Every structure is written in C-alpha cells, then in structure tokens.
C-alpha cells in the first residue's frame, strides 16, 4: 500500500487525489466525457446493477459518485436507497442538486469523502458500486479493504473500470494527465480480482467491454474537435493540451486494438452469512 508516499506520477497520494478531483470538477471535462463519465454509459451501469441482486429499500454505496448519475439511476430504476461519496466537494453539491431536481433527495444522499477512508460504519450496505474510479485510487488495496468493511456479509461489490497492461503502455499513456484520464495506473482484470480477494471479496463474475472504451475515445475526439473550434480558450484554461491530445487519443485507440487497454465489469461478493 502507498500510505501517501510519492507515487509513479511524482505526486503524493493526497495531492494526486486533489488533482484528479479538480480535473473532474471542470465543466470542460464534463463536456468531453459526457453525462456518465465512464465507458458504456447508463446501459453498462444497468448491466452491472442487474448482477448485484438489488431489491427495493436495499442500501447501496456509490464510491466516487461524481455528479450523481449512477446513484440517481439506481435509486430511480431499482428503488434502492443510495449513499454517494466523492472526493470533490463540487461534485457533492452538483449531485445533491440533481437529486432534488429529480425528486430523489429522500432516496439518494451525497457526502464528500475519501474512498480509502470511507465515512460509513462497518457492514451497513447491501451493495457497493464503483465505476471507472478504482484505477485512479493511489492505494487500491486500502480502497478494496474499505469496500469490504462497509459491505454486509454476503453483500456484493460491482465495478466497471479501465484495464491495462502497465508494462505495455506507450509513453503517451503513462504521464500524470493519462493517470487522471484513468489510464496510467489501471491494472489487468486479474490484478483487480487479486486486490479484491486480498480484502476478502471473491470475484463471481467478470465481463470484457473493450468496445465501450473505443466508443468513448471516439466520442471524446469528436467533442474535442468541436470544442477546439468553439472554445479553445476554455480548453486551455482547463489544462487540455491541444497539441498533445491527438497523439494521446491515437495511442489509446491503438492500445485498445492490441489488447493493452480495455474496459471490464467485475462483480465480487463478501463472504459470510
């Protein structure tokens, strides 16, 4: 575990978390990534949820809940009660506003917190979901232990996330910007399962959804080209490197094609009765 030490990005763990939170709070990043902030969108979220044995009034924790898209979908479509936690206060505020606007404030609550130190008691949730975020956590083992701690015995964890073979990533996909973009510190699917197993979470189902990654790269490229023509100044203010972006997107697309980069769904279960 990293315990806050300096990571491969050159930043301490807490500094990296703050950097990621600031980046994902940007309106320009929201425009580039779309509503769901992860490959596969709401369709993949529903597929994930269907494997979690959700039922009305069950309690669900959405870790790295962002602007509330996944949490609100679960509360509305499955009748569960959802707690969302995100590192960025700006996201917490936006998610609360979205819950009120959707009439779901009594079913979906949001708080600011750290995935590696969840602000919840032991064994209170029937399910935990974490979409496209474990790959960004500096201390993945600690986060996995927290997932297990807050789950009830027999509860399920659902993850969708970027997968990667780190030793095969090209230079364009290994810097700080690539880490914030969920690539540079992503791991192979088997390694995620191993991290969860060490925390007492047994993987019961995995699926590859690499085509969702390719579609998102294509969508980002199209949105970037549009913003380049209409809002180049905003892109620069948000730290988007217009000169480097085409090479990064091309490298990501090639990495998906050769199996270095991908996207996966994983469901794990905490032992006990």
- Domain membership of residue 7 (yes or no) is no
Determine the Cα–Cα distance for residues 175 and 183; give it in Å rounded to an integer: 9
- Domain membership of residue 28 (yes or no) is yes
Q: Count the domains in the chain.
A: 1
Query: What pLDDT does 262 receive?
Result: 96
Please give the average per-residue pLDDT across 209-236, as a whole number: 84
- Domain membership of residue 5 (yes or no) is no
Q: DSSP of 40-52, one letter per residue?
A: THHHHHHHHHHTT
**Is the predicted pLDDT of residue 2 greater than 50, yes or no?**
no
**Is the predicted pLDDT of residue 53 greater than 60, yes or no?**
yes
- Domain membership of residue 2 (yes or no) is no
CA angle 222, 227, 232 (to 5 degrees): 140
Tokens of 108: 């979906």
**Is the predicted pLDDT of residue 44 greater than 60, yes or no?**
yes
What are the tens digits of pLDDT across the range 30-40?
A: 666 666 568 89
Please give the average per-residue pLDDT across 73-78, as a whole number: 98
Tokens of 112: 């600011």
Tokens of 241: 């490197």
Determine the Cα–Cα distance for residues 264 and 161; give it in Å rounded to an integer: 6
Tokens of 41: 């969108």
Give the structural domain span for 39: 13-270
SS3 state at 21: helix
Query: What pLDDT does 177 receive?
Result: 56
Instruction: Please state, in angstroms and as integers, the Cα–Cα distance from residue 254 to each residue in 116, 129, 268, following that order.
Output: 32, 29, 30
Determine the Cα–Cα distance for residues 191 and 197; give it in Å rounded to an integer: 10
pLDDT band at 119; cut points 50, 70, 90: very high
Beta bridge partners of 60: 82, 127
- Sheet containing 108-112: which strands, arranged edge to edge? 108-112, 81-86, 59-63, 125-131, 151-164, 261-270, 201-208
Residue position matching structure tokens 């979690």: 52
Lowest-confidence region among 59-63, 65-69, 80-84, 191-195: 65-69
Per cent of the chain over pLDDT 90 is 64
Q: What is the CATH number of the domain that holds 63?
A: 3.40.50.150
- Are the C-beta atoms of 186 and 180 separated by less than 8 Å? no
**Is the predicted pLDDT of residue 97 greater than 90, yes or no?**
yes
Query: What pLDDT does 96 receive?
Result: 98
**Is the predicted pLDDT of residue 110 greater than 50, yes or no?**
yes
> What is the pTM for the complete model shown?
0.85
- Domain membership of residue 24 (yes or no) is yes
Determine the Cα–Cα distance for residues 203 and 83; give it in Å rounded to an integer: 23
pLDDT band at 238; cut points 50, 70, 90: low
If you average pLDDT over every residue of the chain, what do you get?
Answer: 86
**Is the predicted pLDDT of residue 81 greater than 80, yes or no?**
yes
- Domain membership of residue 3 (yes or no) is no
* Strand pairing report for 201-208 and 261-270: antiparallel
Determine the Cα–Cα distance for residues 228 and 226; give it in Å rounded to an integer: 5
Most confident of 9-23, 152-166, 227-241: 152-166
Beta bridge partners of 117: 114
DSSP state of 272: -
pLDDT band at 8; cut points 50, 70, 90: very low
- Domain membership of residue 88 (yes or no) is yes
């Amino acid at each position: 575990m990293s315990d806050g030490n300096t990571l491969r990005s050159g930043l301490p763990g807490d500094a990296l978390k703050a950097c990621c939170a600031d980046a994902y709070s940007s309106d320009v990043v929201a425009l580039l990534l779309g509503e769901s902030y992860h490959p596969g969108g709401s369709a993949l979220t529903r597929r994930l949820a269907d494997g979690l044995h959700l039922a009305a009034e069950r309690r669900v924790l959405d870790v790295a809940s962002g602007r509330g898209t996944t949490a609100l979908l679960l509360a509305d479509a499955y009748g569960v009660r959802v707690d969302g936690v995100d590192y960025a206060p700006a996201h917490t505020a936006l998610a609360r506003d979205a819950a009120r606007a959707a009439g779901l404030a009594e079913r979906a609550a949001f708080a600011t917190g750290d995935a590696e130190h969840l602000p919840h008691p032991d064994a209170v949730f029937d399910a935990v979901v974490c979409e496209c975020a474990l790959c960004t956590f500096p201390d993945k083992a600690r986060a996995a232990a927290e997932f297990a701690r807050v789950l009830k015995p027999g509860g399920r964890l659902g993850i969708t996330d970027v997968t990667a073979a780190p030793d095969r990533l090209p230079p364009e996909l290994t810097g700080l910007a690539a880490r914030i973009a969920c690539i540079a510190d992503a791991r192979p699917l088997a390694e995620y399962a191993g991290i969860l197993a060490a925390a007492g979470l047994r993987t019961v189902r995995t699926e590859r959804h690499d085509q969702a990654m390719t579609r998102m790269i294509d969508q980002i490229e199209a949105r970037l080209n549009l913003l380049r023509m209409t809002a180049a100044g905003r892109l620069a203010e948000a730290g988007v490197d217009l000169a480097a972006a085409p090479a990064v997107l091309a490298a990501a697309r090639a990495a998906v094609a050769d199996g270095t980069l991908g996207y996966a769904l994983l469901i794990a279960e905490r032992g006990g009765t």
